[in-house]
Amino acid sequence: MRYMSTDDYGFDTLAIHAGQDPDPRTGAVVPPIYQTSTYAQDAVGAPRLGYEYSRSGNPTRDALQECLAAIEGGRRGLAFASGLAAEDTLLRTVCRPGDHVVIPNDAYGGTFRLFSKVAERWGLDWTAAPLDDLDAVRAAFRPGHTRLIWAETPTNPLLNIADITALGGLAHEYDAMLAVDNTFASPYLQQPLSLGADVVIHSTTKYLGGHSDVVGGALVVADTGLGDELAFHQNAMGAVNGPFDAWLTLRGIKTLGVRMDRHCDNAERIVGFLSEHKKVASVLYPGLDTHPGHETAAKQMSRFGGMVSFRAAGGREQAIEICNRAKLFVLAESLGGVESLIEHPGQMTHLSAAGSALEVPADLVRLSVGIETVDDLLADLEQALG
């Protein structure tokens, strides 16, 4: 496979072609699914094309990994069994017991659980800070011990915005690294490596896969040395993406650009509707001029995404009622698929943060706006709001 970069081609071309040359034997334009665990070797110590065992390497996964690197503007991409598997591998590659990480004070619930219930027992310390406040991030640093700033932007589910370039500069000032979870934006709307991040994290389950039919995760890096370290741990720890999952994710990536355009179009219409509704106390969306992170988002994102959160004027019970009354918006966890989803984060995706400093507001509703006919989505929200 030939290396393709953003210097050579546009985003949609990379999404369709990077890592996906026609099969040399048959001419198939879609990469084959190499559903195999092991490979015949030409001689002892001479594996054919370097393939020995599919935990260590698989051609379908390699195609996905090359595509991921290309669309994020990185030098190496790695595909995992889930987003949390990617996160865990990153932490255990770049951190050691006794190290310290700064995380968002509104991090994804699964990420918070990984730090507070798993990594902490391994000896990794962490501090939650508002990443849109550089002074607060600097105050949270422990020089000589802080190894990583862990950022989400936009965050899940409060859609706060962090300045990637500023955080990267701060991390590097202390000889630390910046990792950015780019799941909500997708590489179509934001490319953190070009803004100073060292590592990009994805739940490929979401916008990259795009069809709610596959679970996966990814890491993308600009430095080949770090990529080699991560690849060693990926193989040693073993939470790799299977070949069929990799193939499904590649298929989803091909249409990422056109899907994201529709996600954004629909989200903007919905934000306009919710902003004027009397039963909505406030709308959280970085595309709004009133959003505190709007200027930063406009600087580092091409558009503002398909995720929308809002707070119900009637409090927790009304928020739950809205979720239960929705019909076209499916009541479900996850996000980023072609179908619209609605959830109550406090009792669903972020239940693990309940009772902590990262607990989300009880009146919060989160929407993953799909690509359906927007008038149908608006009508469903109208009836759900009552």
- What is the DSSP secondary structure assignment for residue 111, as one 8-state letter? H
Of the pLDDT bands very low, low, confident and very high (cuts 50, 70, 90), residue 6 is low
Q: Render 44-81 in DSSP notation, one character per residue.
A: TTEEGGG--BTTT--HHHHHHHHHHHHHTT-SEEEEES
Supply the pLDDT for residue 349: 81
Closest C-alpha to 168, from 134, 144, 202: 134
Tokens found for residue 163: 């300045």
Of the pLDDT bands very low, low, confident and very high (cuts 50, 70, 90), residue 5 is low
Supply the pLDDT for residue 239: 94
Active site residue 8: no
**Catalytic choice (34, 39, 108, 188):** 108
**Catalytic choice (163, 181, 198, 245):** 181
Residues 227-252 pLDDT 10s: 999 999 999 999 999 999 999 999 99
> What is the three-class DSSP state of 36?
coil
Mean pLDDT of the region 212-220: 98
Distance CA 361, CA 352 (A): 13
Supply the pLDDT for residue 326: 98
Distance CA 344, CA 364 (A): 6
Predicted TM-score (pTM) of the model is 0.95
Active site residue 181: yes
Q: Is the dihedral of CA 71, 73, 79, 83 positive or negative?
A: negative
Residues 20-34 pLDDT 10s: 999 988 999 999 999
**Catalytic choice (75, 147, 206, 303):** 206
Active site residue 108: yes
Distance CA 361, CA 136 (A): 22
**Catalytic choice (55, 142, 279, 325):** 55
Residues 254-292 pLDDT 10s: 999 999 999 999 999 999 999 999 999 999 999 999 999
Closest C-alpha to 264, from 154, 179, 104: 154
Tokens found for residue 55: 């935990």
Active site residue 61: no
